[in-house]
Structure 1
């Protein structure tokens, strides 16, 4: 089965939905292909205690505010899943699931999107698959010898699974700190970081991080000195559970061990720490294997972009992978602006090829009724 449309969005998480909102607003014919069984993107697979860094009012996708979660200043992952599910339904976004995209390649003037459910041919493609699906674990000597349990952030769920065990958490970012704080009360915890942990000031949340990322991008675009962005502020947002464990003196980091052995880890001075489990909170990489047929990836694995648009393939946009595809574009609040710019460029491309009436960077949408929510309640 082969279908033709003007644009295909690969991924139905927050970035894909934001792209869909703006494409719909500009009257572009499109589909969203999502490999997940249900709405919610990666949020539906997060650990039980995960919360946003920002209040609901500063964690919204374009067009629809996230409702406040009763009893919570910072909404939890389940609340985000409910919000994304409602967002998709309210705007009647054309999401097809579960559809796994196996490859995108050039097909003359169109791009061909091959999936396990058929083929779509389109004028443009937005890749919005995120990073959750490609966890990274460093090649530490002896890792394959360890007889205990090893897992990555993406597999962690609850401290109940490790109660009474000796657990080593590796990683000095937000996920490492949050999971360490989650485990510190019920396990014999060792938290390991590559360098001493850098906590942001307690009053800094996701909104301030978005502002810092945006200011850095603006400075670089205008040729001014690099402000350092979020990295200049620190590595760890002091959300309440992390702050509580830190202030109680329970969240202390050890330097990185030098190797792993069957029963645990070995430190630089030769001492050993036995362990039942090692949790690697060591980040993820962009999930871009579906774009491999186009041969666009550079030496570091990134695809060169101007804004969200691929330099070598202007019919392709990348959205939501981090600052290289828009300031804070991997966040709920940050993805809206680059999604809008990507949609405008796609609209202009489609307009130039179809002769649709064009004004500035967008054409008149056939009907704005499609953007009016079908329902008005929120989770």
Structure 2
């Protein structure tokens, strides 16, 4: 059995940031990535996805994004950037390696791969993100709806929905962005439990992320002040607010029921619907930790404090939403959390 100092599970932005931070501490990790490229889930996001943060605020530690720092990079630019980052990283990155199980032992942790391969490590970083676990809420009648139901994780472009009656469920950035582009080709409703909240993308001639960085609200602990229900506001340069005002898409309170292929709305009206797209977020994708006692709570969420596992000192999480701040699961913020986790794990390894 191959023994490593540290294994990072996941080769996306969180795993790459963790590997960089561990190398800075003198720990050369092995990165295990399930797909064939160390770029995480980015290639699978919808085609029109564009970052809400400018390039100058969208890089991982050690490598600037490049190009015009004030532009808002497209999905494919992020993929190319992560490719460059992985190529420069001082780490062993093995793709096509899906981890199926992590267990605790006297020498640290046992890591079992779906291929049947077994490894062991003194420390483990769980950085597998959440894209693999889309959240599908229990909406009335959804189980028996006879039309098409998909999560925004499976959405790519509006062309396939042309001429359909579409309902997008959600009030976040993805929901508004996808519903707005669908409304250009077909009748689309954005169904939400509360009115959509907007935040201006630019203030006093500067992008919002400039002010978040300058004030410290982008980092822990002050950033937690922005975590207020029902969630973060939609960042907008004016386009999306104008689109909703023009009913492109229309915004309606959540449907009260689904009957066959029809939706019943709060005002009592009933209409046929072809497709429902759930832009309802994600949950941490950590099935390989199920057998590691105390690592997860009964719902599958990690039990941690600021990324440190409460039950296992050699296990850290990186890239969780709101792990330490509002930017913990973003390109601009994951490096801070990764550095903190790497320092803690380096101390743990030195005591063994």
Q: Same fold (TM over 0.5)?
A: yes
Q: Give the corresponding residue for 2:221.
A: 218
Asked if structure 2 preserves the Cα contact closer than 8 Å seen for 1:318 and 1:325, the reply is no
1:324 aligned counterpart, secondary structure: coil
Corresponding residue number in structure 1 for 2:267: 269
> What is the alpha-carbon distance in structure 2 between the residues aligned to residue 95 and residue 263 of structure 1?
47
Query: Which of 292, 298, 304 is the equivalent residue of 1:294?
Result: 292
Q: Which stretch of the first structure deviates more once superposed, 144-153 or 40-49?
A: 144-153
**Secondary structure, aligned partner of 2:111:** strand
Q: Check 1:137–1:35 CA distance in 2 against 1; reply closer, same or farther (3 A cut).
A: same
SS of structure 1 residue aligned to 2:291: helix
Q: Aligned residues, how many?
A: 346
Secondary structure of the structure 2 residue equivalent to 1:331: coil
Listed as ranges, the gaps of 5+ residues in structure 2 are none
Per the normalisation by structure 1, the TM-score is 0.85
- Please say if residues 145 and 261 of structure 1, whose CA atoms lie closer than 8 Å, have aligned partners that are also in contact: yes
Distance 1:244 1:291, change over 3 A: same
Are 1:8 and 2:7 an aligned pair?
Answer: yes
Kept in 1: contact 2:226–2:326 (CA 8 A)? no
Q: Is the 8 A contact 2:145 2:260 kept in 1?
A: yes
Which of residues 95, 109, 112 in structure 1 aligns to 2:110? 112
Distance 1:9 1:233, change over 3 A: closer
Report the RMSD for the aligned CA atoms in angstroms.
Answer: 2.4
Of 72, 76, 79, the residue aligned with 2:77 is 79
What aligned pairs does 1:245-256 form with structure 2 within 5 A after superposition? 245-246=243-244, 248-256=246-254
Aligned-residue offset at 1:202: 3.6
Q: What is the CA-CA distance between 1:245 and the residue it aligns to? A: 2.5
| Cα deviation, residue 160, structure 1 | 0.7
Q: Is the CA contact 1:9–1:127 (under 8 Å) kept in the aligned structure 2?
A: yes
For the pair 1:123 / 2:122, whether they are aligned, the reply is yes
Residue 316 of structure 2: aligned partner: 317
Query: What's the offset of the Cα at 1:264?
Result: 2.2
Q: Secondary structure of 2:290's match?
A: helix
The superposition leaves residues 168-194 of structure 1 with CA deviations (integer Å, 9 ceiling, x where unpaired) of 101011111111111111011111111
Q: Quick check: 1:57–1:68 contact (8 Å CA) kept in 2?
A: no
Q: How does 1:180-191 map to 2 (within 5 A)?
A: 180-191=179-190
| Alpha carbons 1:308, 1:326 under 8 Å: kept | no
8 Å contact from structure 1 (residues 6, 122) kept in 2: yes
**Deviates further, 82-91 or 318-327:** 318-327
Shift of 1:93: 3.1
- The equivalences for 1:1-379 within 5 A come to 2-68=1-67, 73-117=71-115, 118-203=117-202, 205-206=208-209, 208=211, 214=217, 217-219=220-222, 227-229=225-227, 234-238=232-236, 242-243=240-241, 245-246=243-244, 248-296=246-294, 297-299=296-298, 301-353=300-352
Tell whether the 8 Å contact from 2:102 to 2:292 is kept in structure 1 after alignment.
Answer: yes
Q: Contact 1:7/1:31 (CA < 8 Å) preserved in 2?
A: yes
**Take 1:30 and 1:247, find their aligned partners in 2: how far apart are those partners?**
51
Aligned partner of residue 191 in structure 1, secondary structure: strand
Report deviation, 1:216: 7.4
* TM-score calculated relative to the size of structure 2: 0.91
CA contact (8 A) 1:264 1:272 kept: yes
How many Å separate the matches in 2 of 1:3 and 1:348? Answer: 22
